[in-house]
Every structure is written in C-alpha cells, then in structure tokens.
Structure 1
Amino acid sequence: MGQRRRYFQRIWRLIKLRLLVPLMRSQHPPEYAAWGTAVGLAWAFTPTPGIQMLVVLATWLVGRAFHWHFSLVLAAAWTWVSNIFTGPPVLYLSYATGQVLLGRWDDITGYESFIRLWESAFSTGQPISVQVMTALKMAIRDWGLAIWIGCLPWCALLAVLGYHWSLRFVIAHRHRKVRRLARRLAHRE
C-alpha cells in the first residue's frame, strides 16, 4: 500500500510541477496561458503520438504569423496528458466515436481486440521511432478515418474545457497572490 501511495504522490508531484506551476508562474495575461492549455489539450487527443509537441510548435509558429499568441511551453506540456499509458484508451475512444459518427454501429471493434492489435505493434522489440511510425500507420491505414473523425469532438470539447478551467485557475491564483501580499503589507504597518 505504501509503495502505491508513493507512486501516486510522484505522479501528482510531476503533474503539479509540469502543468500547474507553469500556469501559476506565467507573467502574461491569463488568456495567454489558457490558450496554451487549450492548444495542448486539442493536439493531445489527436492520433498523432510522438509528434504532438512538433505539431504544437507548428501551430505556435502559424499562430504568431496571425497575431494569435499562446504559451508554447504550456501547450507542449499539456500534450503529455496523452502518453503511452493513456494513448490506447484515447485512440479507442476516438475510434468508437468516429464509427458512431460515420454510422458504422455494427463495425465497432471491441476494446480488447483493439488493445491486442495495439500491443502487437509495440511488442516487436523495435526502436521507439519505428514503433511510433507503426502506430501512425495503424492510425491512418487501419482505423484512420474513424479515429480522425472521432477525435474532433473530443479535441474541441477538451480544448474548450481546458481553456475555461485554466483561465479560472490563473485568475483565482493571481487573486490569492494579491490577497496574500495585501495581508503581508497590512501586518507590516
């Protein structure tokens, strides 16, 4: 029990360090951090494992050309919510959603067979670059259209939720910071 608790404490510490602390330390307007969170979450739930941070960088570069600014660091960090552990369930959710949206109710592969196919792609003992390319080929060739169609509503929903949550989080954090400073200054007088 103690080992499991330490594991979850380490995970929480990593989440706090990589995702929440950058939100709290940002000196930009709250919208800047909120847009970074939204962009990161939107790309995190696309079937682009391994290249999500590069796509975020491309989005940032294109956005700057159109005077749309967001935190590149936060956007890249929020892509990490989709990782080797959360990737298969996220891809399956996108696949199942896509099959439903395409009207293919009778052609939805079960989660177990989906995971078996996923694991077979990664059990080859190949370098990680080959494994990522295999996963991308599977996402395009085998389930492509369904996954891409199915990820769109989830990307949009999570981007909107992430934007509003992080905006409120940053604003609330800044208000708490101002109140603490005001209390300290009041005690000095």
Structure 2
Amino acid sequence: MNAHKIRPAPRADRQRRPDMMGRLRRLLRYRIVVPMMRSRHSPEHAARGSFVGLFWAFTPSVGIQMPLVLITWTLARRFPRWDFNLVLAIAWTWTTNAFTALPCYYVFHLTGQVMFGHWDRLAGFASFRLMWNDIFTAEQSMLEQLQALARVLILDWGVTMLVGSLPWALVIAWLGYRYSLKFVLAYRHARHERMMKRHRNRVA
C-alpha cells in the first residue's frame, strides 16, 4: 500500500468558479468601458452619463438610484445639450450598493454634522452601525424594513445625510465626467490614428 495519501482532485466547479476580481473586471468592462467606447454620440454624451450616474450613486438613495437616473434622463432628453448615455449612468449607480451603502451613509452623516456645526454629535463608525442595526430587526417584514428606512432617511438623519452627501456627489461626479471625457477622447484619437495608419499602408 502506498504510504503517500492521494489527494482528491479539485472539484470541477471550484476550477470553473471565477474569482471576485475577475468578475468585477468583466463587469466594469462590459457595463462601463465598452458602452463608452462603442457610443456613436459625442464624448460629452458619455461623460454626462458618468456624471449623472455617479452623482446619484453618492447620495443616500440606494435602492431608488436607477429610477432617479431614469427620471433625470427623461427630463434631460428635452434639452439636446443635457442628454446623456442612460446605460452608462445606470451602470455607475452600482458603485454604491447594499454592501457599500452603510459606510457611505456614515461618511455622509459625519460630513453633514460637520457642515451643520454639530461637533458634539460626531460618532465613530461602530456606534453608527449599532444605531443603524437597532432600527432594523430580523422579525420585520420587507415592507416594515422599507418603512423604517424611509423614516430614517426622511425624518431622522435624512437632512443631515443629504446635505453631507452633496459635496461628495458633486466632486466625484465631476471627476467621473472629466476622466470619462478624457478616456473617450483618447480612445477615439487612437482609433483614428490606427485607421489612418492602415490607410497609408494600403496606399503604399
């Protein structure tokens, strides 16, 4: 009998299962990068989509961000200079989600307290998380949790978080606009150079 233990072969599903970073890269490529590269509109059209998506992403509106983007797009379409890439804007709202909402809300709440001058109400993230968890219980139904969330955002911390989110939303959205515009312009310039090079090679 062989003294060495035979290690079981790795499960096929483990070999096929993509890592988290790989899925994230594919998501970014196909939902954000590819729409920017393939857009037939002006570079500003894609950049405005990034601005709108990132703006709503960094407001205390997780769960209703995509409807807000859709409403914004419906209104913006009436003005050609305000129109933007809807698919790109919706994709950017996924920057904040159920996993990242609480840290973002904490930063918004902290910023709002500072902006209102409530220095005595600043709390650490652990305390904020405990206060947040106390609002929701496992016994609550989905409707009751939504009602509790609406009460928190509208009546309790809503004004503080909304005001505190505005500096973040505006700065991040503007940076998204600038970098998206730069990316699309660089891509189209490189594509034009490739086409011109092919044309010169054919003529030669």
Query: TM-score with structure 2 length normalisation?
Result: 0.82
Cα contact 1:49–1:132 (8 A) shared by 2:
no
Q: Distance in 2 between matches of 1:52 and 1:145?
A: 18
3-state SS of 2:77 partner: helix
Q: Which runs of 5+ in 1 are unaligned?
A: none
Aligned position for 1:100: 114
CA-CA distance at 1:95 after TM superposition = 0.6
Give deviations 1:148-180, integer Å, cap 9, x for gaps: 110111111011111101000100111111122
Taking only aligned residues, the RMSD between alpha carbons, in angstroms, comes to 2.3
Aligned position for 1:112: 126
Larger helix proportion, structure 1 or 2? Answer: 1
CA-CA distance at 1:85 after TM superposition = 1.7
Aligned position for 1:61: 74
Q: For the pair shown, which has the larger CA radius of gyration, 1 or 2? A: 2
Out of 163, 178, 202, the residue aligned to residue 149 of structure 1 is 163
| Structural mapping, 1:13-28, within 5 Å | 13-28=26-41
Q: Distance in 1 between matches of 2:66 and 2:139?
A: 25
Aligned position for 2:84: 70
Count how many residue pairs are aligned between Structure 1 and Structure 2: 187
Q: Residues 110, 87 of structure 1: CA spacing in aligned structure 2 closer, same or farther, 3 A cutoff?
A: same
The percent identity for this pair of structures is: 45
| Structural mapping, 1:24-35, within 5 Å | 24-35=37-48
Q: Distance in 1 between matches of 2:188 and 2:148?
A: 45
Moved more, 122-131 or 42-51: 122-131
Aligned position for 1:161: 175
Cα contact 1:31–1:167 (8 A) shared by 2:
yes
Q: Residues 29, 128 of structure 1: CA spacing in aligned structure 2 closer, same or farther, 3 A cutoff?
A: farther
Q: Distance in 2 between matches of 1:182 and 1:125?
A: 65
Query: Is residue 42 from structure 1 mapped to residue 55 from structure 2 by the alignment?
Result: yes
3-state SS of 2:61 partner: coil
CA-CA distance at 1:78 after TM superposition = 0.8
Q: Which runs of 5+ in 2 are unaligned?
A: 1-14
Q: Distance in 2 between matches of 1:180 and 1:129?
A: 55
Q: Distance in 2 between matches of 1:167 and 1:127?
A: 44
